[in-house]
Amino acid sequence: MLTTNFLLIAPFLSAVLFGGYGLNCLLSERMVAEFERYGLARFQRLTGALQVAASLGLLAGQLYRPLLLLSSGGLALMMFLAVVTRFRIKDPPVAAIPALVLCLLNALIFFHAL
């Protein structure tokens, strides 16, 4: 069973990771090529904006539980779709591990917040 400390720290960890990646999606030219490779170029900026918004939602969700549920649930779903995308474009399975770990982390946050 996960400790209470982990479940208190997890939203902050996820917020930092998604905040950074979301900003990278919005500001990095390298991400343009990555999203083109995924076949999702038109969703690059939306993905970045949603990740930054959800990272802020994870933090604000410590004070307002529905926001924590929305943010962690949305990120879990986004990362599930990222895993599916990695398999769809035939990346090696190991390439899907970060998205899978973040999917599970946010699913844990979501179910703990229920």
Break the chain into its structural domains and give their ranges: 4-113
pLDDT band for position 2 (50/70/90)?
low
Phi-psi region of 41 (alpha: psi -120 to 50; beta: other; left: phi over 0): alpha
Q: Measure Cα distances from 7 to 12, 62, 104 in Å.
A: 10, 11, 13
The candidate with the shortest Cα–Cα distance to 38, out of 6, 83, 71, is: 83
Under a CB-based contact definition with an 8 Å cutoff, are residues 62 and 68 in contact?
Answer: yes
Total residues belonging to the chain = 114
CA–CA distances in Å: residue 111 to residues 16, 37, 51, 65, 99: 20, 33, 19, 12, 18
- Amino acid occupying residue 37: R
Question: Has this prediction a pTM greater than 0.85?
Answer: yes
pLDDT digits (tens, 9 = 90+) for 10-56: 999 999 999 999 999 999 999 999 999 999 999 999 999 999 999 99
In whole angstroms, give the CA distance from residue 14 to residue 96. 17
